[in-house]
Structure 1
Amino acid sequence: MNDDAMQGLLFGSAEEVVADDVASREMRVLTLNVQGSPATRRDEMLQWLYASECNVLVLTEMRNNDSGNRMIQELESSGFHVVRTRAEPDERYRTVIATKGFEVRGLDTPMATSRLAVARLTAPFGPVDVVGLYSVTNGMSEESSHSRRAFQESFLSAMEAHLRTHSGVPLVLTGDLNVLEPGHRPAVDNFEEHDYDFYRRLCGLGLVDAYRLKQPEGTDLSWYGPKGGQRLDHTFLTSGLVRHLSDCRFMHSVRECRISDHSAMTALLR
């Protein structure tokens, strides 16, 4: 379903969720920062997600509270299998991966944080690991920079270990990575070199920026603040999946209708 069609469904009757048999033909991956999944917008957000007809939902910045738990329950009651890392009481946010129609199991990761979830699913072209990440936000302070850099280093180590341990399984990494690609336009002055280096080092692990691959001149931005927009949400693939990537784009209607402060990002693999 395209973004224009989605616009008309936002406040109408709920669409049926994507059929299980779609998983035998293609992976429709969608990542969205759910902006804390507040109860006031939860039903609209779920309706929007169901209307997308995507069968791999990677949802970041989900609150570790009753509203977040309710959203997970709603996804499960609609036939999605939900994978998430156990959140400790002091962890405010988590990432969840909800899939429909796939054989799927959660995987342990070398990095213990509820901001990271890993699921292995059986796609039409074989097993694929899906890694969902909500990285640390740029708080524009020295303390924030230190925390963000430490998180990035830990994740890179975890990612390298996962790729080494599971070298025969292709991988999709997606989510709100809270970093910009080098040369980002418009230029942003509150990101530091370690942020751009995080992007470069992900590429150095053999990961390919799916959006940039399919939209080499693309100028989409996925989040807007008082000083302008930024492309903070990303999807990366290991090289073995590149030939299966049919499309990668942003769906802006979810942000334009203020269901979230982020646009959704989609990738179609078949």
Structure 2
Amino acid sequence: MLDLLTVNLGAASRKRAEGLLSWLALRPEQVFLLTETSAGAGTSYLLERFRRAGYHVVKTPDVGDRGAALVSRVSVVSELTMDVTVPGRVAAAVLDTEPRILAIAVYVPSRDRSVEKTKRKRDFLASLLAALDGISEQSRGALVLGGDYNVIDRDHRPRYRTFLPFEYEFFERLSARELLDAHLHLSPDDQPHSWVGRTGDGYRYDYFHVDATLADRIMVSAYVHGVREERLTDHSAVSLALDATILSMLHTTRPTEDSEPIETLRLY
């Protein structure tokens, strides 16, 4: 079984990153898709602890911007560079699994009412879709896209009037590319909220979408609210379990410890 988790770090400070590291170290998932990373001390601390513990870390430099990272105990066959307008907001890798999973962490820019930020978000979403279209058949494998999309779909409960057509259309364009909303696939009547504003309004901003070829392999999709309720971040995490065989795992130590990692273990 391959288990993945996506969580928004909220550009964690060094102190909050320590709490997030302790929380992640106890999670059962083998692959973490981390969003709203930053160039600050918290993200640097978190990712360095995972590296020292033997995890494979994929992180495109974000040049002071917020971004995304992929952290894996599953061996990585290759990293993938995606041509998007803000490169640091995507982290992608092909995992050593059967079927071969291409995992992509994405952190979509937020916006306000300004023309500049609206254009930035629209351009990023368009470039992400184009990048997905441009993935070669050899690299594509079975695609898993996860992260904080900063958008909601048309059927969101409650409905909000603040989202623009291009934001709703993003989900429709994912569907047109045969990418399934994993949670709705399993629980079509469930409406979790992964972010709650100061007024108490809830939004489902965090998702996993999977290639339609994986539909029968989606075993579990669950929103993990504890990390938000403990105020380690302002987002709930999302956990996804797929019926996929892990072919190669890295020998890792607990990232909260100082032990050095050892060799890679092959599983056949």
Query: 2:15, 2:42 within 8 Å by CA — same for their partners in 1?
Result: no
State the match for 2:100 in structure 1: 127
Taking the aligned partners of 1:167 and 1:254, their CA distance within structure 2 comes to 33
Taking the aligned partners of 2:75 and 2:2, their CA distance within structure 1 comes to 9
Q: What's the CA shift for 1:167?
A: 7.0
**Which residues of structure 1 form unaligned runs of 5+?**
1-25
State the match for 2:118 in structure 1: 145
**Which residues of structure 2 form unaligned runs of 5+?**
244-268
Query: 1:56, 1:100 within 8 Å by CA — same for their partners in 2?
Result: yes
After superposition, the Cα gap between the structure-2 partners of 1:42 and 1:167, relative to the gap in structure 1 and judged at 3 Å, is closer
Taking the aligned partners of 1:81 and 1:106, their CA distance within structure 2 comes to 10
1:184 to 132, 156, 162: 156
Taking the aligned partners of 1:94 and 1:65, their CA distance within structure 2 comes to 11
* Higher RCO (C-alpha 8 Å, min separation 6): 2
State the match for 2:165 in structure 1: 193
Q: How does 1:63-78 map to 2 (within 5 A)?
A: 63-78=38-53
**TM-score, structure 1 as length reference:** 0.85
Give a deviation string over 1:75-115, Cα, whole Å, max 9, x none: 1122311111233x3x4212110000334431122226100
Q: What's the CA shift for 1:165?
A: 4.3
State the match for 1:113 in structure 2: 87
State the match for 1:253 in structure 2: 226
Aligned residue for 2:128, secondary structure, equals helix
Aligned residue for 2:88, secondary structure, equals coil
One-letter amino acid of the structure 2 residue matched with residue 117 of structure 1 = A
One-letter amino acid of the structure 2 residue matched with residue 70 of structure 1 = Y
After superposition, the Cα gap between the structure-2 partners of 1:78 and 1:144, relative to the gap in structure 1 and judged at 3 Å, is same
Query: 2:76, 2:93 within 8 Å by CA — same for their partners in 1?
Result: no
Aligned residue for 2:131, secondary structure, equals helix
State the match for 1:214 in structure 2: 186
Taking the aligned partners of 1:146 and 1:95, their CA distance within structure 2 comes to 20
**TM-score, structure 2 as length reference:** 0.85
Taking the aligned partners of 1:190 and 1:161, their CA distance within structure 2 comes to 31
Cα RMSD, aligned residues only: 1.6
Q: How does 1:150-165 map to 2 (within 5 A)?
A: 150-162=123-135, 164-165=136-137
One-letter amino acid of the structure 2 residue matched with residue 247 of structure 1 = V
Query: 1:33, 1:260 within 8 Å by CA — same for their partners in 2?
Result: yes
Aligned length: 241
One-letter amino acid of the structure 2 residue matched with residue 85 of structure 1 = T
After superposition, the Cα gap between the structure-2 partners of 1:193 and 1:168, relative to the gap in structure 1 and judged at 3 Å, is closer
One-letter amino acid of the structure 1 residue matched with residue 92 of structure 2 = V
Taking the aligned partners of 2:184 and 2:168, their CA distance within structure 1 comes to 15
Query: 1:140, 1:190 within 8 Å by CA — same for their partners in 2?
Result: no
Asked if 1:32 is matched to 2:7, the reply is yes
After superposition, the Cα gap between the structure-2 partners of 1:39 and 1:207, relative to the gap in structure 1 and judged at 3 Å, is same
Taking the aligned partners of 2:241 and 2:19, their CA distance within structure 1 comes to 24
